[in-house]
Amino acid sequence: MPFERSSGLLLHITSLPSPGGIGDLGPAAYTFANFLAAAGQRIWQVLPLNPVGYGNSPYGAISAFAGNPLMVSLDVLANWGWIGHDRISSLPQHSGPVDFNEVTRTKQPLLEEAAANFLAHHSHDQWARFEDYCVKQRAWLNDYAAYVVLRKSFDYKLWTEWPAEYAHREPAALERLAAERGQELAVVQALQFAFDEQWGHLRYYCAARSIKLMGDIAIFVSFDSADVWTHPEIFELDAGLTPVKVSGVPPDYFSATGQRWGNPLYRWDKLAAQGFDWWVARVRRACEVFDLVRLDHFRGFEAFWSIPGEDDTAINGKWVKAPGRELFQQLEKELGTLPFVAEDLGVITAEVDALRREFGFPGMRILQFGFGNRGAHVYLPHRYEPNTCVYTGTHDNDTTLGWWQTGTSVADREAAETYLKPGPDGIVWAMIRAAETSVADICLIPVQDVLELGSEARMNVPSAAQGNWSWRYQPERLTLDLAEKLAALVTVTDRDGVPIDPLPSGAETESSQEAEPATLSLP
């Protein structure tokens, strides 16, 4: 779909400086929305909002549909009357890096206490909304709640290690669970309701300030997830529920053995026979939550690297065609115009590019990638087309300052200086200006770059299994001066949402093209 020319910032919810040790949907989120509005930004991009599993990666979630309860604001719950303000006053107020284990230990029990209070004592209006929510989201909510309760009961073991009656979802066992542990299941559901209510309020607040929320769909789901436990028939599992084929990417210049991600692959034939109903439900849910959606690993919708499940590396994998065209056609049929941005980074074939263009999805360009060699110049602005989303870097890149200080060769630095011509405010703002002034319809800048932070603020190192996703910004860093600098840049580059005045009548003639710029009607 065509997108209006706009600019936005990339900041995950957990990176907000909220109390409680982790960013949430409370006051800090609204403060950041105010900064976006003051800075003329029209998009707030976040990473997947789903509850995380091992490694705390939002791309390794335990549900493709649920929201992360740790993002629920206890301050807001206290204002709702779900919990006393005195009960949450001892939580840490600092905005340092997220310690996920500590947050789970201290915040999760208070969230569950608040949800239990709501179930016991609630207003009529909010209870009616909760009941309506449970009905509307029942296709995934009940199974997710059962998965969470069982996972906790069995010491967070992989669901295939649970007692067979639960691993295989025997109806009698699930009925007994519902009868005996209804309160625990309802607590999980109430926290999901709270997440959706708080997110909905934030989205409304942003919309009133002409800010769109952009989310992210990871193409694959974790094996240890409610999705695979609930729908094993649509994944490549054997009779013992072990993955037969798993995801990854082939060996390349960077890795002689490739990357074995380990997600179970889809049984696309069964999904197609079912009208891609699981994917339709997943995208429908995403479109309920977000205004725009980034499709991670887009090339996997055209062909994916299939690795034998028993292999430890990706060497013996092979490319297998995916029915991406049929899937997107069905999604358009069911949901209408798709607000997708395609993450088409890496080695992209003509077939992948053709699939993206057929459905009009913007591709992505990363400025940091543009200086390695002549082939990398596709990532530089002079090679862009308008239907593009440009970034200085993404959550998987080092910050631009970190990249400049430690991640570039002498030749790359010379090329970047030649191309960007850094001014008095340095290389980072030269990169930001190059992105904003490009013809790409969408420009997204990580907050770390706006703040000119180094590698200490990097969000993710893909090769590292631990220590990622914990960065949070210091609230005093987002100043009015910084907002004004961004606002001035988006105004002069026509990314502020103000309609562009047409040229005066006759401006297309040769004589008018030679006129002084002052004769043009500027926005």
Q: What pLDDT is stored for residue 498 in this prediction?
A: 80
pLDDT per residue as tens digits for the range 353-388: 999 999 999 999 999 999 988 889 999 999 999 999
Q: What pLDDT is stored for residue 466 in this prediction?
A: 81
Please state the rounded mean pLDDT for residues 243-254.
Answer: 89
Q: What pLDDT is stored for residue 94 in this prediction?
A: 82
Give the number of other Cβ atoms within 10 Å of residue 295's Cβ.
23
| pLDDT exceeds cutoff 80 at 481 | yes
Please state the rounded mean pLDDT for residues 229-256.
Answer: 92
C-alpha span between 312 and 257 (Å, rounded): 9
Q: 494 CB contacts (<8 Å, ≥6 apart)?
A: 5, 500, 523
Specify the range with the lowest mean pLDDT, choosing from 318-327, 408-417, 431-440. Answer: 408-417
Could you confirm whether 344 is annotated as catalytic? no
pTM of the model: 0.94
Could you confirm whether 132 is annotated as catalytic? no
Residue 367 is given by DSSP the state G
| pLDDT exceeds cutoff 60 at 161 | yes
* Residue 437 tokens, joined: 């002034």
Active-site option among 99, 353, 396, 494 = 396
All domains of the chain in start order, with CATH = 6-362+441-519 (3.20.20.80)
pLDDT, averaged across the chain: 93
Q: What pLDDT is stored for residue 501 in this prediction?
A: 66
Mapping DSSP onto H, E and C, the string for 485-511 reads HHHHHHHHCCCCCCCCCCCCCCCCCHH
Active-site option among 24, 343, 412, 449 = 343
Please state the rounded mean pLDDT for residues 261-274.
Answer: 97
Q: What pLDDT is stored for residue 200 in this prediction?
A: 98
C-alpha span between 294 and 188 (Å, rounded): 28
Please state the rounded mean pLDDT for residues 300-325.
Answer: 96
Active-site option among 112, 277, 291, 296 = 296
In sequence order, the β-bridge partners of residue 237 are 243
Please state the rounded mean pLDDT for residues 430-457.
Answer: 98
Could you confirm whether 396 is annotated as catalytic? yes
